[in-house]
Amino acid sequence: MEENFTETTHPLPEPEKGLVLSEEALYYLQTAAKWAKFLAILGFIGCVIMVLVGLFAGSIFSKMGTVSAYPSVMSQSAGAFMSVFYIAFALLYFFPSLYLYQFAKFAQNALLFSSSQDITLAMGKLKSFFKFVGILIIAILSLYLLIVIGVFVMMGTYSAFRQ
């Protein structure tokens, strides 16, 4: 006697078209957007302060050279270096602040108008923020590694010449 077992297969439910966020997720997104806007504004203020310090660093160092008992050209070149350094760092710091501000703006608009296009733009700006910061951290860690290697090479060179 043959037994015929028939399997009853339950079809998988169809995935929903589009993403539906719960009230809790919307609240978290709204809170994140507020904090992102706050941090972005602080970043813009920091950029302005760095540019102002950079613009006045040259005159501050040159004034220090005239007050010193041993005025030198070093103080003027150090002032120029510090000016360029602060302005370049302000420019570098501007972009993450801009991406964070744009994320906050688009996320708040998406929540206000229930716009999927704005939430897409907000997530794109958040991706750009994290990508920029990630690349910056990789570059800084690489620079630290090169500095450590350079210090060890200099120490080895110094000890070789000292003998």
Compute mean pLDDT per 10 residues along the chain, 163 residues long, and list them: 59 66 94 98 97 86 67 69 91 97 97 94 97 97 97 88 76
Is 14 domain-assigned?
no
From CA 97, how far away is CA 40, in angstroms rounded? 5
pLDDT at position 82 is: 86
Single-letter amino acid, residue 83: S
Distance, in Å, from the CA atom of 31 to the CA atom of 29, rounded to the nearest integer, reads: 5
Domain count, the chain: 1
| Inside any domain, residue 131 | no
CA pair distance 62, 71, nearest whole angstrom = 9
Amino acid identity, residue 109? N
Note the pLDDT of residue 80. 82
58 domain residue, yes or no: yes
Domain of residue 46, residue span: 27-125
Residue 134 maps to a domain: no
Write down the pLDDT at residue 12.
66
The whole-model pTM stands at: 0.77
125 burial via Cβ count (<10 Å: 0-12, 13-18, 19+) = buried
Q: How far is CA 143 from CA 7, 39, 101, 132, 147, in A?
A: 63, 26, 28, 16, 6
Residue 122 is encoded by which pair of tokens?
């907000």
**Residue 71 placed within a domain:** yes
13 domain-assigned: no
